[in-house]
Homo-oligomer: A and B are copies of this chain.
Amino acid sequence: MMVSRHKIVPVILAGGTGTRLWPLSRQSLPKQFIALVSENTLYQDTLLRVAESDVFLPPVVITGTDFRFFAKRQAAEIEIHPTVLLEPVRRDSGPALLAAAAYVRDQHGPETLVLALAADHVVSNPDAFRACVNSAAEAASKGHIVTFGIRPQGPSTAYGYIKPGTVVEGTDAALVDRFVEKPDAETAARYVADGYLWNSGNFLFPAGLMLEEGARLEPEMTAHAEAAIAKAKPDLTFLNLDSAEFSASKAISIDFAVLEHTQAAAVVAGDFGWSDIGAWDAVHDVNAQDAHGNVTHGSVSLMDSRNSYVYTDGKLVAGIGLDGISVVATDDAILVMPSERSQDVKKLVSELSSAKRNEVNEHLKMHRPWGTYQTICRGDRFHVKKIVVEPGGKLSLQKHYHRAEHWVVVRGTAEVTVDDKVFTVNENESTYLPCGSVHRLANPGRIPLELIEVQTGSYLGEDDIVRLEDVYSRQ
């Protein structure tokens, strides 16, 4: 076991809404909260990678309000209980990282090292990763903002590159000679030949140093980020960054704001099986392939196929004669393409978005603080959902103006409030909620409650809801 001489606080940036992995990753459930490579979600694997208590202090997660329950619940599932900072609006990585640095400095002092990690990257060799963190910590503690450079596996045009300069004395790190943007193929080949590294977008730095450099290079943004922490308010178990201050920050990445301009930037070269799984071809690459180079997930039957990636979350996918094809099938959308076109998914999603397709942002299965709901059938004047309420979960006290609801409990026990009555509905029992009634659903039991809800009415939009009271502070 490695024991660090430094205090390191992992800061997990979990606010992204990646569209390149559509249709699986969407605004309602972005890729960091999906299990794409192991049994765990990428976010969980990231937390586990920095969970060794002799090296790391308890982690800090920074994410958007929409994702706060994912961040808490998925961490709790692996018995990790991070501090969760909530960004009231999205402002790119600069303000987020500076706010997190201010939080760490205020809690643990300015010398404390911050290990800033994207929540949606894959590391296939965690031991090598932690060894690299150790090297970086040596350099950081000598007054550097250290970025993790990846030894290129080829002349990729999907990453920015870093040119290492002179070695930081007594460490494995080098000063950064320069950062360069994503290159074209020819330039990329030259970079690789010249020993440039991929820029992974993960950093290690003393909290105070980052804030000093921020204050010098982007004084306004840094002042807003620090004030957003100073004025932050706890809400349930979250810490809400101050909305006015954080919103006033400009939206800019930490690379543009600080890294590319500071003299303190250093880089350590890592070889720890890193991938940002930025697109479907990368997901194919990081998963174990069968003898024909195929990777499948779910109910898949391939005949005479090779080098293909097939993901399905339910329906059978059958392929014949596929070569280098990616197929991703979800409940409501299916993507088919040659894997080499993976970078074009972003463009496709933006086209679908212009066409105002629901499938772009929303999943049929929606996650809520109390559990999940999923549309299973929709008709002209009705809508059928499967609702799962976790033990102890409690929906808001609510009413609808335009719809009545039938609830049939198929598993577990429901505590139902209708107007001034509270009663229990057991498995294989049902109840009816007339239009306009004030009602609440809760699971008082020890196993998940599953029920089928049949809504009927002339208007069935999610916005026909008046929340009178909510234990999760939702409006």
Leading 10 A-B pairs by shortest Cβ distance: A382-B410, A320-B337, A321-B341, A376-B377, A408-B454, A316-B333, A428-B456, A320-B341, A376-B376, A317-B334
A233 at the interface (CB under 8 A from B): no
Enumerate chain B residues within 8 angstroms of A428, measured Cβ to Cβ: 404, 456
Enumerate chain B residues within 8 angstroms of A406, measured Cβ to Cβ: 408, 430
Given known A380-B411, A427-B456, contact A320–B348 (CB-CB < 8 A): yes
Q: Is the CB of B315 within 8 A of A334?
A: yes
Contacting residue for A312 out of B301, B331, B334, CB 8 A: B334
Given known A411-B380, A430-B406, contact A315–B331 (CB-CB < 8 A): yes
- Which of the 9-residue segments A123-131, A165-173, A197-205, A351-359 touches chain B? A351-359
Given known A301-B351, A334-B329, contact A384–B456 (CB-CB < 8 A): no
Q: Is the CB of A336 within 8 A of B322?
A: yes
A331, A348, A352 pick with most chain B CB within 10 angstroms: A348
Contacting residue for A334 out of B316, B325, B382, CB 8 A: B316
Given known A332-B315, A348-B301, A382-B410, contact A452–B377 (CB-CB < 8 A): yes
Assembly CA distance A373 to B452 (angstroms): 17
Please give me the residue from chain B that is nearest to A314 by CB atom. B332
Which residues of chain A (364-405) have a CB below 8 Å from chain B?
376-377, 379-382, 384, 386, 404
Q: Is the CB of B381 within 8 A of A410?
A: yes
Q: Is the CB of A382 within 8 A of B359?
A: no
Given known A301-B348, A320-B348, contact A452–B384 (CB-CB < 8 A): yes
Enumerate chain B residues within 8 angstroms of A376, measured Cβ to Cβ: 376-377, 384
Q: Is the CB of B332 within 8 A of A316?
A: yes
A319 at the interface (CB under 8 A from B): yes
Assembly CA distance A304 to B327 (angstroms): 17
Assembly CA distance A344 to B304 (angstroms): 10
Q: Is the CB of A336 within 8 A of B348?
A: no
Enumerate chain B residues within 8 angstroms of A316, measured Cβ to Cβ: 23, 332-334, 352, 357, 359
Q: Is the CB of A337 within 8 A of B319?
A: yes
Enumerate chain B residues within 8 angstroms of A344, measured Cβ to Cβ: 303-304, 320-321
Enumerate chain B residues within 8 angstroms of A331, measured Cβ to Cβ: 315
Given contacts A318-B334, A322-B337, A379-B450, 7 further A-B contacts (CB under 8 A): A301-B352, A315-B333, A316-B359, A317-B333, A321-B340, A377-B384, A381-B411
Enumerate chain B residues within 8 angstroms of A338, measured Cβ to Cβ: 320-322
A335 at the interface (CB under 8 A from B): yes
A347 at the interface (CB under 8 A from B): yes
Enumerate chain B residues within 8 angstroms of A303, measured Cβ to Cβ: 344, 347-348, 351
Q: Is the CB of A377 within 8 A of B382?
A: no
Given known A318-B23, A321-B337, A321-B338, contact A410–B456 (CB-CB < 8 A): yes
A432 at the interface (CB under 8 A from B): yes
Enumerate chain B residues within 8 angstroms of A251, measured Cβ to Cβ: none
Enumerate chain B residues within 8 angstroms of A317, measured Cβ to Cβ: 333-334, 336
Enumerate chain B residues within 8 angstroms of A381, measured Cβ to Cβ: 410-411, 427
7 contacts between A and B (CB under 8 A): A315-B334, A316-B352, A320-B336, A321-B340, A334-B334, A410-B456, A428-B456
Enumerate chain B residues within 8 angstroms of A215, measured Cβ to Cβ: none
